[in-house]
Amino acid sequence: METFQDVTAWFSDPVNWSGPQGIPQRLMEHLQYSWVAVLLAAPVGVALGTYIGHARRFEFITVTTANLGRALPSFAILALAFPIALHYNLGFSIWPTVAALFFLAVPPILTNTYVGVKEVDADTVESARGMGMSGSQVLRRIEVPLAAPLIVTGIRTAAVQVVATATLAAVVAGGGLGRFIVDGFARQRGDMILGGAFLVAALAILTEVFFAFVERSVKPRTASQDRSRFKPPYRHAAQAGRPGGDGYVPGA
């Protein structure tokens, strides 16, 4: 049983902070797998989700297929992707890992986008069409802006899962923070295993926090005073109760 002091010692050992096997290098590798996977999955998930949510076609088949990606263990995909990549001489590149992470990332992005677009108030869409907005105008001016927070929620869920799962790269001789865990097991170094696990967890939490901010920034304004930010609760309640806005003095 490794103690807290051992892990602290591992973190404070300067050897672990430099060179091709140091924490900064492994962190960069880990981020690379994750970013590439999410950056590839986001356009696919958002495009498909937007299309089926707007057109209301192929909804069932698309969502079901996408969810297969969630059902398949990433480890299984990795196991399949690795020999295929080997065949094309890409076995030791980032691609087998990215492929596995891609299938993990698409479903939450697609599903959230689809639900976000579909759930936009039907009356708002109908009256926009009735006033002469084209399909793409409805999409760009109404459906996507209103669905944006949910779309980002999907990306956030995907990103956190991807960051946690990118650890698997180490299993097929890749880099990333998983290296510390896999190597730690191999060498029976508990401090290394715990240190790696701590780094992965911390990165996942940071990712979560980062996207929470993005999500907030894409939330469309629906009130002339932003009630969601930096307001003491009593004020919030007072505003919720004010009628119709007549005679209301902003900032009063």
Partner 1 sequence: MTKMITLDDVTKRFGGSAEVAVRGLSMEIDEGEIVVLVGPSGCGKTTTMKMINRLIEPTSGTITVAGSDVMRHDPVQLRRTIGYVIQNVGLMPHRTIEQNIATVPRLLNWKAERIRDRVRELLDIFDLSDGLLDRYPSELSGGQRQRVGVARALAADPPVMLMDEPFGAVDPIIRARLQDQFLDIQRQLQKTVVFVTHDIDEAIQMSDRIAILNQGAKIEQMAAPEEILRTPTNDFVRNFVGAERGLRRLGLIRIADIEVEEGPVVQSDASVSEARAAMEKFDFDWTTVLEGERLLGWIDASDLEVHDSVAKTQPRPFSAHVVANDSLRQALDSIVTSRTHIAVVVSDGDKYEGILTMARISREIIS
> Which residues, numbered 78-137, are part of the site for partner 1 (CB under 8 A)?
121, 123-134, 137
In total, the chain counts a number of residues equal to: 252
21/137 with CB nearer partner 1:
137
70/129 with CB nearer partner 1:
129
* Closest to 151 measured CA to CA, from 118, 181, 189, 195: 118
> Contact, 62 vs 115, CB < 8 A?
no
- Considering only 7, 66, 98, 142, the residue that binds partner 1 (CB under 8 A) is 142
Tell me if 70 contacts partner 1 by CB under 8 A: no
Amino acid identity, position 9: A
Q: Is the dihedral of CA 223, 224, 226, 227 positive or negative?
A: negative
Other C-beta atoms lying within 10 Å of the C-beta of residue 189: 17
User: Which segment (79-87, 88-96, 138-146, 165-173) binds partner 1 by CB under 8 A?
Assistant: 138-146
Tell me if 21 contacts partner 1 by CB under 8 A: no
91/145 with CB nearer partner 1:
145
Q: Please state the φ and ψ torsions of residue 60, each to the nearest 5 degrees.
A: -65, -50
Tell me if 241 contacts partner 1 by CB under 8 A: no
Quote the least distance from Cβ 146 to partner 1, whole Å: 6
- Considering only 20, 233, 241, 243, the residue that binds partner 1 (CB under 8 A) is 243
Tell me if 217 contacts partner 1 by CB under 8 A: no
| 129 vs 139: CA distance, rounded Å | 11
| 170 vs 199: CA distance, rounded Å | 14
Q: What is the DSSP string of 114-136?
A: HHHHHTS-HHHHHHHHHTT--HH
User: Which segment (85-93, 157-165, 193-201, 216-224) binds partner 1 by CB under 8 A?
Assistant: 216-224
Tell me if 224 contacts partner 1 by CB under 8 A: yes
Q: Is the dihedral of CA 136, 138, 140, 143 positive or negative?
A: negative
Based on its alpha-carbon atoms, the radius of gyration of the chain, rounded to whole angstroms, reads 23
Tell me if 5 contacts partner 1 by CB under 8 A: no
101/117 with CB nearer partner 1:
117
Tell me if 228 contacts partner 1 by CB under 8 A: no
Residues in contact with partner 1 by CB under 8 A are 121, 123-134, 137, 141-142, 145-146, 220-224, 243-246
